[in-house]
Amino acid sequence: MLSIARDKPAVRGSKRPSGAARKVLVADVGGTHVKLLVTGENEPRKFVSGPGLTPQLMMPEIKRLISDWDHGAVSMGYPGPVRDGRPVSDPANLGKGWVGFDFEAAFGRPVKIINDAAMQALGSYRSGKMLFLGLGTGLGAAMIVDGIVEPMELGRLPYKKGTYEDYVGLRGLERNGKKRWRQDVEDVVARLIAALQPTDTVIGGGNARKLKELPPYCRAGSNANAFLGGFRLWETPCASNLGAKKPRVSGSNE
């Protein structure tokens, strides 16, 4: 469960930046690209990731791309489960070595790490009970219920002859083609809405644009919301109006 609280930082050892150091670098780590944006800039920068990317390979490329960006803190969206601000397993679509890697030492800044779908959900949230589904290399998922954020590994649930992710992720799109993939997306979304009963469902991720139309009862997300979610991780609870309640990021599963 995630929360942002006044008396408790979201990630071990992370202190809220102050003064000129309030600029936040957001690193959205995905299965195909790592995307970067810093407070005050409008154009993200990115580089190709892929199955061979390790944190040791990623960090020099990030530092090269952001060499002219001043920042005092980092938010990182991680494509896998995160607990106590740390990755607990290597991503399915990237290389090895993420678990135990010291990102604060590598960045030289305070770092908050959150599941990538949860970070985009934070940027998409308005109010109530929101389900976020990210159609990308895999299937990202998170829920926010009255401001409490919960990352979810729904893509691993069994479906047909595999998992949800096998059919609505990139593998399913490439294997079955757009027409069948769109049908599977609509079916999977309908099943999850029926099971979880959200009042608001957001479809995001890079492959959402390949849908002819959104499934019923859904609204479109935006990849830019991942950056907004990363900035919100460092905001005070009253820093912005996110609807009925501001999402909180705390607890043991970030």
Give the chain's domains with CATH numbers.
19-119 (3.30.420.40), 125-224 (3.30.420.40)
Q: In this predicted model, what pLDDT tens digit does every residue of 11-63 receive, in sequence order? A: 334 455 544 347 999 999 998 999 999 999 999 999 999 999 999 999 999 99
Give the per-residue pLDDT at 199: 97
Give the per-residue pLDDT at 197: 97
Is residue 235 very low, low, confident or very high in pLDDT (cuts 50, 70, 90)?
confident
Strands 33-38 and 158-159: unpaired
pTM: 0.81
In whole angstroms, give the CA distance from residue 18 to residue 203. 34
Give the per-residue pLDDT at 1: 52
CB neighbour list of residue 158: distance below 8 Å, 6 or more residues apart: none
In whole angstroms, give the CA distance from residue 68 to residue 22. 16
Percent share of the chain, pLDDT over 90: 77
Q: Is the pLDDT of residue 94 over 90?
A: yes
| C-alpha of 83 from chain center | 14
Residue, of 252 and 216, whose pLDDT is higher: 216
State the Rg of the chain over Cα.
Answer: 17
CB 92 within 8 A of CB 45: no
- Tell me how far CA of residue 251 lies from CA of 36, 114, 148, 184, in angstroms: 26, 12, 10, 34
Q: In this predicted model, what pLDDT tens digit does every residue of 199-232 receive, in sequence order? A: 999 999 989 999 999 999 999 998 889 999 999 9
Give the per-residue pLDDT at 22: 79
Is residue 139 very low, low, confident or very high in pLDDT (cuts 50, 70, 90)?
very high
Give the per-residue pLDDT at 250: 40
In whole angstroms, give the CA distance from residue 54 to residue 203. 28
Which two tokens mark 123? Answer: 């940027």
In whole angstroms, give the CA distance from residue 231 to residue 71. 12
